[in-house]
A and B are shown apart, each in its own frame.
Chain A
Amino acid sequence: MERSKITLLSTLLLFGLISFGLNHIHVADDSGQAVTLIQKYSYYYDILLTIGINIILAVGLNLVNGYTGQFSLGHAGFMAAGAYASSWLTLSYGYALGASVFATTFSFVVALLLGGVAAAFTGLLVGVPSLRLRGDYLAIVTLGFNEIIKGVIQNCDALGAQRGLGGMAQHTTFFWTYAFGAITVYVVLSLVNSTYGRGFLAVRDDEIAAEAMGINTTKYKVLAFVLGAFFAGIAGGIYAHFKQFIYPEGFNFMKSVDVVVMVILGGMGSTLGVCVAAALLTILPEVLRYVAHIEALPEWLRHIAENRMIIYSLLLIVLMLTRPQGLFGAVNLKRKKA
């Protein structure tokens, strides 16, 4: 077996062990009772899993924005497709195979994958118009698709429409979140380091030259969108079964922007960078939350920390002005265009 597959499998094994530990190691809480690590540190666990979900989202988007250069502003729409599809499946058929832990977990994973497929299908729908559009136009069209997906869900009573969909069982565990995270990274890295990767990068660098060289740009663009959407759908399903409640507004333009910022911060075209950025940007609001509560700081500083969106937006601007290639940027974005 190749080295990369061995790495992947050992990583999955490691995650399995960690997850088992989190669920079964007992520690004493304040009143002396024995609780699991997850129960004692449920806040950190929440952040940890959110990081995992964001990694899947960002790495998937990186394939579209970073490696293939297609500016997509509608990633949250794919996440929504996967979240709703998998939720509807587990709510309707979650116990079809039986009520044992094995059966429900199996149903959950199947639902996740089918949710990913549903999202991939929407990715196909979005990818096709993208073939004829560039840059800014593409951005607005992807944004439009995000709104359309939201609109469809809002009008579908079976999916809870505007009021949201809840009642999903908490099937998401550390293992599944990070396992899929590892798989996403593995798939994207393998793809990018293969001839497919050359194709993606060619499309990003100069689409016309790529066509002239005989590269089927259509294939690469559509593939990027479909794969990116698939992983977003998986992330959506994992999110839905973690937070146990989803509603259309939760997958709006702002959510798409969140993921885009992770990709930009990480450096488009660098999977590792994007993972780090996803982690940083998930932790940042929590750190700011903590800062806002420190009594020792002056009032105005705490006030600013409370309004973390102001800091976030300033961060974005400063980042673009000083280091647009992000943390680990592989692309030389400072080059001057002739």
Chain B
Amino acid sequence: MADKLLEFLQQLVNGLSQGSIYALIALGYTMVFGVLRFINFAHGDVYMLGAFAGFYFGPKVAQIFGHGAAAGSMPLGDLLNPSAWIVLLLAMALCAVIGIIIERLCYRPLRERPKLTVLITAIGVSLFLENGGQYAFGVDPKSFPDIITDRALEIPESWGKISGLTITLSQVLIFGVTLLLLVVLRHIVVKTRMGMAMRALSFNPVAAQLMGINIDVVISFTFGLGSALAGAAGILTSMQQPSIDPLMGVNAGLKAFVAAVLGGIGNLQGAALGGLLIGITEALVVGYGNPTYRDPIVFGALIVILLLKPTGLLGASEREKV
């Protein structure tokens, strides 16, 4: 009996861990949508670029700033390793720049156009990044450099049966960083001037412009921020799943997108919640049901929820003005 409980708890841990990856990517999606009312299909591919940034810069940074193993014996010592954080910030910065460039070139000229046009363009950008990535990086999966060595954390025996659970360092890290970013994002959106500008933009772009807000700057900032989040997700995930390839953003991006919609697109907490829910659903379906139904069930759940509450779990009901 206790074994079954342990198995269930482990699946929950697995689900939360994968779910927080989806949540991290979903945060970026939902932020861009919230401000611009536009789904950036290329978001998943920026996530991929973040991982590749880590692949190319990681070893060089580790050479300059030292490898995590040096801080070795302390319990979470290698978290203090500067290389890891530098690579993370570098990747985030790079992805932010890429996001801003994409916005400037492909989305800004289409601002006045109907949403469909921009959506198709986003699909085009996504395909370009994926196939361009295959061309530029090669199609074979690459091994992500060992910056922070992932390992299972020791749970003291004194905590009882739970010590049979496996929780890895990267799982804790991803979950923690996701929460941290959620808090930071909320702070930015609610408490800063830029955040206020973003909210104004999401309510009414024209009125915001009339109020003197430079929407070009705000939109660039939003995109940059969202893409930085995707880049962070890319690095953190690759720590846990060290095999990266140019098509890695496809599946993750799609699931994250579903998570964002599920939670209520435009709602930060909703995205996080959606991500975690999808992660847990997937883990339970695979662990206890038929794994081939994993994707259909996730989409099925999405459809059901959208039928019952079309704006998503935490989404605000929008009144449509005629």
- The answer to whether A and B belong to the same complex is yes
- Chain A residues close to B by CB (< 8 Å): 71, 129, 132-133, 135-137, 139-141, 143-145, 147-148, 150-152, 154-155, 162, 208-209, 253, 257, 260-261, 264, 303, 307, 309-310, 312-317, 320-321, 324, 333-334, 336-337
Inter-subunit contact A337/B112 (CB<8 Å): yes
Stretch in B170-178, B268-276, B295-303 touching the partner? B295-303
Inter-subunit contact B310/A137 (CB<8 Å): yes
Inter-subunit contact B290/A317 (CB<8 Å): no
Inter-subunit contact B292/A155 (CB<8 Å): yes
Assembly CA distance A70 to B121 (angstroms):
18
Assembly CA distance A314 to B257 (angstroms):
23
A147-B310 contact, Cβ under 8 Å, with A317-B106, A321-B110 = no
Inter-subunit contact A313/B128 (CB<8 Å): yes
Inter-subunit contact B114/A310 (CB<8 Å): no
Closest approach, in angstroms, between the C-beta of B241 and any C-beta of chain A? 22
Assembly CA distance A267 to B322 (angstroms):
27
A140-B257 contact, Cβ under 8 Å, with A148-B300, A151-B296, A310-B131 = yes
Closest approach, in angstroms, between the C-beta of B226 and any C-beta of chain A? 16
Inter-subunit contact A145/B292 (CB<8 Å): no
- Residues on A with C-beta less than 8 A from B115 are 135-136
Inter-subunit contact A312/B293 (CB<8 Å): no
- Residues on B with C-beta less than 8 A from A141 are 302-303, 306
- Residues on A with C-beta less than 8 A from B126 are 313
Inter-subunit contact B121/A320 (CB<8 Å): yes
Inter-subunit contact A313/B113 (CB<8 Å): no
B159 located at the interface, meaning its Cβ lies under 8 Å from any Cβ of chain A in the complex: no
Chain A to chain B contacts (Cβ below 8 Å), 16 pairs: A129-B303, A133-B306, A135-B116, A140-B261, A141-B302, A144-B258, A147-B295, A151-B296, A154-B292, A208-B320, A253-B254, A309-B130, A313-B126, A314-B124, A317-B124, A321-B106
A144-B127 contact, Cβ under 8 Å, with A307-B135, A320-B120, A333-B113 = no
- Residues on A with C-beta less than 8 A from B117 are 320, 324, 333
Inter-subunit contact B293/A155 (CB<8 Å): yes
Assembly CA distance A154 to B293 (angstroms):
9
- Residues on A with C-beta less than 8 A from B296 are 147-148, 150-152
Main secondary structure of the interface of B (DSSP, over half): helix
A162's closest neighbor in chain B, by CB? B292
- Residues on A with C-beta less than 8 A from B121 are 316-317, 320-321
A307-B306 contact, Cβ under 8 Å, with A140-B257, A151-B293, A317-B121 = no
Assembly CA distance A252 to B112 (angstroms):
31
Inter-subunit contact B127/A312 (CB<8 Å): yes
Assembly CA distance A12 to B109 (angstroms):
45
B72 located at the interface, meaning its Cβ lies under 8 Å from any Cβ of chain A in the complex: no
Inter-subunit contact B261/A137 (CB<8 Å): yes
A132-B135 contact, Cβ under 8 Å, with A145-B303, A155-B293 = no
A144's closest neighbor in chain B, by CB? B299
Query: Besides A209-B322, A310-B128, A313-B125, 8 other CB < 8 A contacts?
Result: A136-B33, A136-B119, A143-B299, A147-B299, A307-B134, A310-B131, A320-B118, A334-B113
A139-B299 contact, Cβ under 8 Å, with A155-B293, A309-B131 = no
- Residues on A with C-beta less than 8 A from B306 are 129, 132-133, 137, 141
3 nearest A-B residue pairs (beta carbon): A151-B296, A144-B299, A316-B124
- Residues on B with C-beta less than 8 A from A129 are 303, 306-307
Inter-subunit contact B295/A309 (CB<8 Å): no
Assembly CA distance A135 to B38 (angstroms):
10
Assembly CA distance A61 to B252 (angstroms):
27
- Residues on B with C-beta less than 8 A from A148 are 296, 299-300
Q: When each residue 286-322 of chain B gets 1 if its CB lies under 8 Å from chain A and 0 otherwise, what string results? A: 0000101101100110110011001000000000101
Inter-subunit contact B307/A333 (CB<8 Å): no
B123 located at the interface, meaning its Cβ lies under 8 Å from any Cβ of chain A in the complex: yes
Closest approach, in angstroms, between the C-beta of B270 and any C-beta of chain A? 14
Closest approach, in angstroms, between the C-beta of A295 and any C-beta of chain B? 21
